Structure 1
Amino acid sequence: MNQSSYIRPDWTPATVALMVLGFVVFWPLGLAMLAYILYGDRLQDFKREANRKMDAAPFRRWRGEWGRGSCRTRFHETGNTAFDEWRRTELDRLEAERRKLDEMRAEFDRYAAELRRAKDREEFDRFMRERSNRSEDRPADDSQGFYQS
């Protein structure tokens, strides 16, 4: 996610201005913008969870992914053995392709998480270096402070 964008789920001047403008123009727009500011960071998690639930078993039967036994109940045999065999082969091939794509997606998710972790580590290390440099630049004697007695 690009953290430098102006319209992100946070209290930035752009989002506050859009929220106020939304309330002025048509109050549901302002309310929607307020909801985006407050809960927008959860949209990715919501989308990921919705996709995971849609990939669950109850929805797979419509795609013929429960195995040959239940495929026959959904897609009954036609009586043409050549066609039924070809269809079964194609469904198996598509299922294998879907599994391969799911594995690739999981691998990419792991890769992206590792990149985020490395970026966070680098930012934290830079912060700690800058913090230690600031503390070394300060004079050891605090006699120049405002609170002298």
Structure 2
Amino acid sequence: MTTMTDTYPSSRNSSRDNFFTRSESWLDERGKGAWIAAMVLGFIFFWPVGLALLAYMIWSKRMFNSSSHACNRRRKMHRHMAMGRPTGNAAFDAYKADTLRRLEEEQDSFESFLERLREAKDKSEFDAFMDERAARNDDEAAA
């Protein structure tokens, strides 16, 4: 006699995956504090669970993010909707498009300035290294 788990082994795994996915999203909605509370409770009741949660939080970078993934997704979606959605006022939409274009140009020029600054710093550090190396070689040759 075959049971349902024998004929459909993936259904059991998908419900387990579904539980973990739902738990993860539930904790994400409540933020980093909920993750830490779950980890502490895991250590209190059964230490391998707490250790597993700690490892997962470090591996998924939840420990070091300033906010949860769900919060970041909402913020990005809101920003995207605010940038691309027309208001119906043609003058304001033109002003907004012009301002966004100008800000993007300023950002690009600032990023290129930073890149040039990094290159100049790297070049000066390399030149100082080469001068120091040449001086050291001259001292060794003289001795």
TM over 0.5: no
TM range (shorter): 0.3 to 0.5
Higher share in helix: 2
